[in-house]
Amino acid sequence: MKLLEFGLILFGVLLNAFAQLLLKAGVRQFGHFEFSLENTWPVASALATNPPILGGLCCYVVSVVVWILALSRVDVSIAYPMLSIGYVVNAGLAWFLFGEAVGPQRLAGIAVIIVGVIIVARS
């Protein structure tokens, strides 16, 4: 895989991961909620006007454009497994930003993901 191709994939994956983190930050501001017929509109409008959620959705849109560019250059059988880099990034940043637990089992899973990405990237 060429540097430009890997860069496109990595940029798309990082945008996607950043989108997830922004969505989490937005939902944390909003708090726990239940969807019911009565509160559908208030919840939807509150979420739709939350800046981190809007930022996360924008990151998703840009990541889709970047992903399409990447897929035009790389086989999907190589590109798609690279999405798992996002799991690694999200786990680390969720621990750092939100204080989420990352215990030994999760660290072992992250290590397996990293090894898998390296194997796929070298193929």
Q: Provide the residue range defining the domain that includes 108.
A: 3-122
Q: Which two tokens stand for residue 43?
A: 């919840």
Full-model pTM: 0.83
Number of separate domains in the chain = 1
Whether residue 7 contacts residue 74, with contact meaning beta carbons closer than 8 Å, is answered with: no
pLDDT of residue 43: 86
Q: Which two tokens stand for residue 24?
A: 């989490």
- Using CA of residue 49, residue 94, residue 5, residue 71, what is the dihedral sign? negative
* pLDDT tens for each residue of the chain, 123 residues long: 688 888 999 999 999 999 999 999 999 988 887 878 888 888 888 888 999 999 999 999 999 999 999 999 999 988 888 888 898 999 999 999 999 998 999 999 999 998 988 888 777
Give the separation between CA 13 and CA 8, rounded to whole angstroms: 9
